[in-house]
C-alpha cells in the first residue's frame, strides 16, 4: 500500500511540474535543476557561473536547503534575485515548492533560472520540478562510483559536472572509470571536468550553457533531457 501512496504523490507532483513548465515556457527562460551530494560545490559553481556569464545573461536562482539561508545569501551578494526554499529537513525539492518560490521571484525575462536542489543523490531525481534540463554534479573527493551507485540521477542528466578538479591528484578518482560507468547509463551527456574554486575548465561549461540558452530562446523542441 505504501508503494501506491508514493506513486500517487509523485503523480500529483508531475501535474504541478507540468504547470510550472507551462508557466516558465512563457518567458523562454532556461530552467536548470542542479543536483549533487551535499558539499560537491553546487553553490560555488553557481557563483562562478554568475560571475562568468555576467549581465549578458540575466539569471535568477531558487535555493533549496534543509534549514539555513547561507547559500541564498551567497547568491544575493552577487546581485542575482534568489528565493530560498527551506525544506525543514525534507531531502528534496518538489514541484509545489518551486511553484511557490516562482511567485516571489522575478524570473520572467531572465535567460536562466537555476534551481539548486537539496544536496542528495537519491530522491531529487524522482521529483520533476518543471525544469528544462538536469545537471548532475559529483566532486572528485566523493569517488568515481557515483553514476554506478545512483543511476537515476545520472541517467536523466543532460550534462554531468565533475568538480574539484584541483584536488584530483590527492584522490583515487578516475575520470575514465566515471566516464565508463556513465556511458552505460547515459551515452550522450557532456562531461565537464572543472574546478569551480579555481575556474579551471569552466569555459566549456559556460559555453554549453550559452548554447542551451540560445536553443531555448529559439524555441528548440529539446534543449535538454526533460524527464
Per CB under 5 A, residues contacting Mg ion are 42-43, 71
Answer whether 123's CB lies under 8 Å from 55's CB: no
Residue 208: which residues within 8 A CB-CB, separation 6 or more?
159, 190, 192
Nearer to Zn ion, 92 or 164 (CB): 92
Nearer to Zn ion, 66 or 167 (CB): 66
Q: Which does 92 bind (CB under 5 to 8 A by kind): Mg ion, Zn ion, none?
A: Zn ion
Smallest gap, in angstroms, from Cβ of residue 92 to Zn ion?
3
Residues 6 or more apart from 111 whose CB is under 8 A from it? 29, 30, 57, 58, 59, 213, 217
**Residue 6, phi then psi, degrees to nearest 5:** -60, -40
Candidates 14-22, 84-92, 95-103, 178-186: pick the segment binding Zn ion (CB under 5 A). 84-92
DSSP H or E run through 11? helix 2-25
Nearer to Mg ion by C-beta: 16 or 118? 118
Residue in 34, 36, 82, 92 binding Zn ion, rule: CB under 5 A: 92
d(CA 190, CA 89): 32
Q: What is the 8-class DSSP label of residue 188?
A: S
Shortest CB 123 distance to Zn ion, Å: 3
Contact code string over 114-133 relative to Zn ion, x by CB under 5 A: ---------x----------
Q: What does 212 interact with, of Zn ion, Mg ion, none (CB < 5 to 8 A by kind)?
A: none
When the beta carbons of 29 and 43 are compared against Mg ion, the nearer one is 43
Q: How far is CA 89 from CA 84, 216, 224, in A?
A: 14, 34, 30
Residue 191 beta carbon to Zn ion: minimum distance, rounded to whole angstroms: 26
Report the interface residues with Zn ion, using CB under 5 A.
91-92, 123
Amino acid at each position: 500500500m505504501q508503494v501506491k501512496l508514493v506513486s500517487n504523490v509523485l503523480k500529483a507532483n508531475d501535474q504541478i511540474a507540468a504547470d510550472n513548465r507551462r508557466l516558465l515556457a512563457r518567458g523562454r527562460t532556461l530552467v536548470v535543476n542542479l543536483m549533487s551530494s551535499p558539499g560537491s560545490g553546487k553553490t560555488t559553481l553557481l557563483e562562478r557561473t554568475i560571475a562568468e556569464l555576467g549581465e549578458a545573461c540575466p539569471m535568477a536562482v531558487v535555493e533549496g536547503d534543509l534549514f539555513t539561508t547561507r547559500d541564498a545569501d551567497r547568491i544575493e551578494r552577487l546581485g542575482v534575485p534568489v528565493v530560498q526554499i527551506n525544506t525543514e529537513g525534507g531531502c528534496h525539492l518538489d514541484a509545489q515548492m518551486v511553484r511557490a518560490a516562482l511567485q516571489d521571484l522575478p524570473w520572467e525575462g531572465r535567460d536562466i533560472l537555476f534551481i539548486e536542489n537539496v544536496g542528495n543523490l537519491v530522491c531529487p531525481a524522482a521529483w520533476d520540478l518543471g525544469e528544462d534540463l538536469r545537471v548532475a554534479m559529483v566532486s572528485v573527493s566523493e569517488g568515481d562510483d557515483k553514476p554506478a551507485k545512483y543511476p537515476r540521477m545520472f541517467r536523466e542528466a543532460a550534462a554531468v559536472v565533475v568538480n574539484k578538479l584541483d584536488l584530483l591528484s590527492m584522490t583515487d578518482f578516475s575520470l575514465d572509470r566515471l566516464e565508463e560507468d556513465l556511458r552505460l547509463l547515459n551515452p550522450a551527456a557532456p562531461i565537464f571536468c572543472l574546478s569551480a574554486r579555481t575556474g579551471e575548465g569552466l569555459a566549456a561549461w559556460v559555453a554549453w550553457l550559452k548554447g542551451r540558452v540560445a536553443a531555448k530562446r529559439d524555441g528548440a523542441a529539446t534543449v535538454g533531457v526533460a524527464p
